[in-house]
Structure 1
Amino acid sequence: MLASRRAAHRGATPALVAGLRAAVVTLSTALAGVAAVLAFISVRMARRVVTPAARVADTRILGLDTGAQTITLSRTPDTQLPGRYGLFTKGTAPYVKVGSVLSADETTVKRKLLTHIGPTARLAPDAAFSGWYYDRPEQLQLPFSPELIGSAVGPCPAWLFPAGEGDVWVIQVHGRGTTRAECLRAVPVFHALGITSLLVSYRNDGEAPRSRAGTYTLGATEWRDVDAAVGFARRRGAKRVIVMGWSMGGAIALQLSLNSAHRGVIAGLILESPVIDWRLVLSYQARLMHLPSPVTGLAIEALKSDWAAPVTRAGASIPFDRLDVVARAAELRHPILILHSDDDGFVPSDASHDLVVARPDLVEMQVFEVARHTKLWNYDQERWSSSIRSWLERQGLSREGETAQA
């Protein structure tokens, strides 16, 4: 009986080994498949980060009452916000302004139209909700001139709004996937304080020339175009320059502050919903898209690597360490005002809070709630404007501040 058991055991061994080999092959194939999927998703994420974005519809027009001048939109975290906003549409009116929320339920929001829509108007259902409000400089009813800023990539269009004696300027830097029109709503605040506004474009934003790769570097090279604008301002009589950056424009403004040859003329930064640490932002957005946690790390590593540039289409490696201004906080030299909402929903405010902790001697932060990404002016215009005015006065950068110091 013992001999028969040994024989049975010897007979089972090859079958067992074959089964184990098959299991290992199957597991290896599955792991390779998972790795391939993660790599594919990571490459797609990396490309999305650096590719200039087109405006995407994020709400739908469900009703239009031209008699009452109201519009009904599908409800989203943005369309339900109080305040004044814009709506990019397709049809007879490509852009309309909307006002207060008149009524809402679980799926819809009815708002007041601030742009008159006639009875023959036709609007496509898909629309994009915007914090711009103003979309053309003429709407401010302030004197302005179109300008061209010479940069390494070519002439970059800008709008110049002269004010005061012309010795204090603010250079406005828009965010990712937008244009300089995003900054128009800030011009009246500075104009009233005698500060000249220059609203600039930069490489690959759809208005300025393309770089060779045609992709964003998340602030690592775009700051050079804004630096050219600082030189332009100096040649036009600016003695002190404030740089205001919106979202990715905040990352550009910070790189300018750290690297510019014109650092001596920069008097301060104002950052609206800024990107201060890209790794934190990309991790946050990956979670919003329910992507596996390794995807962000793989995407960042790919973007950091020169060898992966042909795959990510980034053109060159992205220096995430240089773009992490919390880590570089000791290098900062200019006073900074941050305006950020803890309910931003796109760029988390964590790094903004961290920068205040790292440099309380230079960085002041006004924390908003409810308002979402770059929509602080829209949600609470008075608080937003007064925060900027009072900061400028404390820095001696407005007529009121200069009078108080005298």
Structure 2
Amino acid sequence: MESVSESRAERSCVPPFARGGRRAVLLTEDGVRIDAAYAPGGTGDGLAVVVAHGFTGALERPAVRRAAQIFGQVDGVGGVVTFSFRGHGRSGGRSTVGDREVLDLDAAVRWARRAGHRRVVSVGFSMGGSVVLRHAGRTTAHVDAVVSVSSPARWYYRGTAPMRRVHWAITRPAGRLLSRGLLGTRIHDRDWNPVPVPPVEAVPFIRPTPLLLVHGDRDGYFPLDHPLSLAEAAGDAAELWIEPGFGHAENAASEELLRRIAAWAAARVR
């Protein structure tokens, strides 16, 4: 059951939108303004796909726009919501690298519901993949299926060179300055307090919501023990795809893979 404050947040912070598609600014539960966009799909009032991008992404990025366009072409998809996480693109605030971003996703999901979509699926990539898992594990999450692509299973992983660079960008003043100047990503300068529940501990609570885990066997950021750990924690409630030749997140996802993901979602929430 929603609390009174959650119901009030939905009414006041999540504006309705026209069926022809539009941009909007959503206000999260903690008061951060989130840049969002809606594009109608090809199947009337079919399910809405909410796309959660990876770290340093944004709704304007070509890979995110491409994924949204492909999702919208799949039978059963009635609309696609994209948004920029806090600290990314035109959104306000500063990135907490997967912690408070759960509230950003929640605002986007509620926006899709206000559009009249009875079924909503969240699809997240990398950091966004961890966010959709943690969001779906909350009792107040309003999603009918979840797809997590290239997600970490646990926090503070530094076992690959790309992740060591990411940690440098997040934890060092010079790294945060470089991220802001070159990538347009504003990162919070404070450590997590408290540390959020890691994805591997969130996935058992997603049941009975359908869950798809997707990972590439050439992922340079997170090796295969991450998706295998997530699948083991989820048990038979999750489906796991280990994709041959696939690298990392939305930038490496092929059109064929994106279409399969959307088709899986449409089939699970009919």
TM-score w.r.t. the length of structure 1 is 0.50
Shift of 1:287: 9.0
User: Match of 1:244, SS?
Assistant: strand
Aligned mate of 1:202, from 62, 85, 91: 85
Separation of aligned partners in 1, 2:125 and 2:262: 17
Aligned to 2:226: 351
Contact persistence 1:173–1:250 (CA under 8 A): yes
Q: Which amino acid in 1 is paired with 2:147?
A: I
After superposition, what is the alpha-carbon deviation per residue over 1:176-228, rounded to whole angstroms, capped at 9, x for unaligned? 11112332222233322233100012211132111xxx3x3332211112111
User: Match of 2:228, SS?
Assistant: helix
Aligned to 1:331: 205
Q: CA, structure 1 residues 156+247, in 2 after alignment: closer, same or farther (shift >3 Å)?
A: same
After superposition, what is the alpha-carbon deviation per residue over 1:306-328, rounded to whole angstroms, capped at 9, x for unaligned? xxxxxx931642515x12x2234
Aligned to 1:160: 38
Which fold has the larger relative contact order, with Cα–Cα distance below 8 Å and residues 6 or more apart in sequence? Answer: 2
Contact persistence 1:168–1:238 (CA under 8 A): yes
Shift of 1:251: 1.2
Q: Which amino acid in 1 is paired with 2:149?
A: E
Contact persistence 1:341–1:376 (CA under 8 A): no
- Point out where structure 1 has 5 or more consecutive residues left out of the alignment: 1-142, 300-311, 398-406
Separation of aligned partners in 1, 2:96 and 2:195: 9
Correspondence list, 1:5-154, <5 A: 144-151=21-28, 152-154=30-32
Aligned mate of 1:185, from 55, 66, 90: 66
Q: Which amino acid in 2 is paired with 1:270?
A: V
Shift of 1:250: 0.8
Correspondence list, 1:232-247, <5 A: 232-247=111-126
Aligned mate of 1:391, from 261, 264, 268: 264
Contact persistence 2:212–2:239 (CA under 8 A): yes
User: Match of 1:243, SS?
Assistant: strand
Shift of 1:389: 4.4
Separation of aligned partners in 2, 1:342 and 1:232: 35
Computing the radius of gyration over CA atoms, which structure comes out larger, 1 or 2? Answer: 1
Separation of aligned partners in 2, 1:275 and 1:343: 14
Task: Tell me the matched-pair count.
Answer: 224
Aligned to 2:8: none
Separation of aligned partners in 1, 2:202 and 2:213: 17
Contact persistence 2:71–2:259 (CA under 8 A): no
Shift of 1:339: 1.9
Shift of 1:394: 3.7
Contact persistence 2:57–2:84 (CA under 8 A): no
User: Match of 1:391, SS?
Assistant: helix
Q: Which amino acid in 1 is paired with 2:38?
A: L
TM-score w.r.t. the length of structure 2 is 0.72
> Is the aligned partner of 1:377 residue 2:250?
no
Q: Which amino acid in 1 is paired with 2:68?
A: V
User: Match of 2:158, SS?
Assistant: helix
Aligned mate of 2:237, from 351, 354, 362: 362
Shift of 1:359: 2.2
After superposition, what is the alpha-carbon deviation per residue over 1:37-73, rounded to whole angstroms, capped at 9, x for unaligned? xxxxxxxxxxxxxxxxxxxxxxxxxxxxxxxxxxxxx
Percent of aligned pairs sharing the same letter? 23
Contact persistence 2:158–2:164 (CA under 8 A): no
